[in-house]
Chains A and B, each alone.
Chain A
Amino acid sequence: DAGVTQSPTHLIKTRGQQVTLRCSPKSGHDTVSWYQQALGQGPQFIFQYYEEEERQRGNFPDRFSGHQFPNYSSELNVNALLLGDSALYLCASSLGGGNQLAFFGQGTRLTVV
C-alpha cells in the first residue's frame, strides 16, 4: 500500500514563473492538506481540501491555489514565483481531516532563482 506520494521531489524555477506540485494521498484517505516548510522553520499550513473543495486556508496570498480531483489527489499551484517561495512543500493526507492519522509525503523541494 503506497503512502502519500508527491511529485516532483525537486525542481528549480525562475522568479515570475508558475509551478504545479502534485500529491496522491494514501489509499482510503479523502482529505489533503498542504504545508510550506522554509529552511529552519516548522511547516506552515497553506490549505486543506476535502470533497474537492477548499475547506480551510492559512495566511497565504492568492498566488497559492489548489485543486482536488475526484480520486482525491491534489495539486498546489503557485503563480508569479518569488525568491521567498523557495521551501519544502509537504502534502498530508487523512480521512475526514483528522490529524493523528494523517500521513505526510516526503515533500517537494522548490528552489526559485
Chain B
Amino acid sequence: DQQVKQNSPSLSVQEGRISILNCDYTNSMFDYFLWYKKYPAEGPTFLISISSIKDKNEDGRFTVFLNKSAKHLSLHIVPSQPGDSAVYFCAASATGDAGGTSYGKLTFGQGTILTVHP
C-alpha cells in the first residue's frame, strides 16, 4: 500500500523556468510533510517542510504548497538551476508538533528525477 505517491518518475525543465514536483498521499494521519533532494552516491538532504496547519511554506527559491482536502502537495523551484538536477523525494510523518518539527518514521514517495537543462 503506497501511502505517499509521486506519479511522475521524471521531469525535464529549462534553466530559469519553474519546476513543479507533485506528491499525493492517502493517510489522513499524516500531519507533516518534507521534501528531500538526493544526488547520486549521497544520502538524501532535507530541503523544505510544511506542517498540516499551513498551506504554504517558502524558503528562497523553494516553495511547498499543501492542499489537505485533495491530499496533495507540490514543490515549486523558481528559477530552476542546473545544480538542482537530482532525485526529489516527498516524505510524510504522522508525528509533528506546532513548533514545526516532524518526528519519527518517515514514509517516502518513489522519487522524481529532475533534470534542469542549461
Interface of A is mostly: loop
Q: How many pairs of residues, A versus B, come closer than 8 Å at their CB atoms?
A: 67
Q: Which of A40, A90, A98, A99 has the most CB of B within 10 A?
A: A99
Task: Tell me if B118 counts as interface (CB < 8 A to partner A).
Answer: no
Contacts of A41 in B (CB 8 A): 110-111
Least Cβ–Cβ distance between A42 and chain B, in angstroms:
3
Asked whether B111 lies within 8 Å of A102 as measured between CB atoms, the reply is: no
The answer, among B6, B32, B89, B101, for a CB contact under 8 Å with A43, is: B89
How far, in angstroms, from A45 to B4 measured CA to CA in the complex?
13
A105 to B44, CA, bound (A): 8
Please name the residue on chain A nearest to B108 by beta carbon. A42
- Assess whether A92 is in contact with B43, with CB atoms less than 8 Å apart: yes
The minimal Cβ–Cβ distance linking B101 to chain A, given in whole angstroms, is 5
Chain B 86-111 interface mask (CB, 8 Å, partner A; 1/0): 00010101000000111111111111
- Which residues of A, 36-88, contact B by the 8 Å Cβ criterion? 40-45, 48, 55-56, 58
Partner among B41, B103, B108 whose Cβ is within 8 Å of the Cβ of A98: B103
> How far is the CB of A102 from the nearest CB of chain B, in Å?
7
Query: Size range of the interface on A?
Result: 20 to 34
Q: Tell me which of B32, B44, B46, B110 contacts A101 (CB under 8 A).
A: B46
Chain A residues whose C-beta falls within 8 Å of the C-beta of B93 in the assembled complex? 99
Listed in ascending order, the chain B residues whose CB lies under 8 Å from chain A are 4, 6, 32, 34, 41-46, 49, 89, 91, 93, 100-111
The 3 A-B residue pairs whose C-beta atoms are closest, nearest first, are A104-B43, A42-B108, A99-B102
